[in-house]
Amino acid sequence: MTLATAHMIAQLNPTSFSWNLASDIRQILSYQFELHAFEAGGIVSVVSGIVGYFVVLRRSAFAAHALSHVGFAGAAGAAVLSVNPIWGLLVFCLGGAAVMGALGQRLRERDTVIGIVLAFMLGLGVLFIALYSGYSTEAYSILFGQIEGVSSGDVLLTLGVGVFTVLLIGAMYRPLLFASVDADVAEARRVPVGFLAIAFMVTLALAVAIAVQVVGVLLIFSLLVTPAAIADLVTRRPGRAMVVAVVIALACTWIGLVIGWYFPYPDSFFITSIAFAGYVVTRLAVRGVARRAARRARLDRQ
């Protein structure tokens, strides 16, 4: 089913909101394309929550941002060649990760290299979009996500990449934490710090490639950074933070998809808005709790 027909059906058969959430959701999921959106969105959320923890810990948000733009060039190039965009995303993101990981080991150098790669890839993406006759709709869906266009094949591929990504993080979990927090001691303890930097870039590239399908290139942070940043506010334990980030990413994606069903606006808008609101509310709540605790401590002392 193509995007356009999917949307037409959605507009022609607006299942009305009934306050019976279970039956509403069952009804929404009875549409194939919406079921696929929920499946792909769910997989991407789990991966994003886990990888996002390390993005926040390692301060790699800029790398994630750049990788999504590399993915833009890849997806646009795939469109030109009439290949499924996810392949372009995967190939370009992996290539970009290898270049960025290999060239920029030190933080300052890394930012420069990432910036240079990012600028070139955006230029390439513009060229590919111009070469592609379908021009604006394709560009729009790459930039802002078009999850309702995900096919069952895409869901399977997303699942495969997602499982692989989680396995990679699992395999390098402890040394990656060590290298992220305390690179000097980690190096002395024989942790391969340089190799892990590249391996993490590759993992991030895979996460970015599948996340672009859901929220698009420009809104990638809403899944890869915001949930992990919220988790960072509420818990200090690495394992728990990852679980919280996954739950938040899942909530943002699925609630965004449900709301998007009832409104003629892009799902990615709802997903990013829920993530943003979640961050603001959590931040204010955490500050409130801290303030109350401080006041109580002051009273205790008096």
Partner 1 sequence: MIGSTAPEPRSPHPASEGPVVRAVDLAAGYGAITIWKSATFDVHRGEFIAVLGPNGAGKSTLLRLLLGLLRPQSGTLEVLGQPPRRGNPAIGYVPQARTIDPEIAFRGIDLVRLGLDGHRWGFASPLRPRDSQRRLVDQAIEAVDASSYADRKLGQMSGGERQRLLLAQALVGDPELLLLDEPLANLDLRNQSEMAELVAEVARSRNLSVVLVAHDLNPLSRVVDRVCYVAGGSVVIGPPDEIVTTEVLSRLYGAPVEVLFDSRGRRFVVGIDEELAHPHPEISHGTHGRRH
Q: Which residues bind partner 1 (CB under 8 A)?
A: 56-57, 59, 170-175, 177-178, 181-191, 232, 236-239
* Closest CB 181 distance from partner 1, rounded Å: 5
Tokens in use for 113? Answer: 């290299």
* Cβ neighbours around 234 below 10 Å, total: 15
Q: Which helix (H) or strand (E) holds 194?
A: helix 193-215
Contact between 67 and 110 under an 8 Å Cβ cutoff? The reply is no
Contact between 188 and 175 under an 8 Å Cβ cutoff? The reply is no
* Closest CB 165 distance from partner 1, rounded Å: 15
* Closest CB 239 distance from partner 1, rounded Å: 6
* Closest CB 228 distance from partner 1, rounded Å: 10
| Nearer residue to partner 1 within complex by CB, 126 or 234 | 234
| Helix (H/G/I), strand (E/B), else coil: 101 | helix
Amino acid at 228: A
* Closest CB 115 distance from partner 1, rounded Å: 21
* Cβ neighbours around 61 below 10 Å, total: 17
| Nearer residue to partner 1 within complex by CB, 181 or 285 | 181
| Nearer residue to partner 1 within complex by CB, 21 or 188 | 188
| Nearer residue to partner 1 within complex by CB, 24 or 232 | 232
Q: Of 210, 82, 70, nearest to 134 (Cα)?
A: 82
| Nearer residue to partner 1 within complex by CB, 188 or 280 | 188
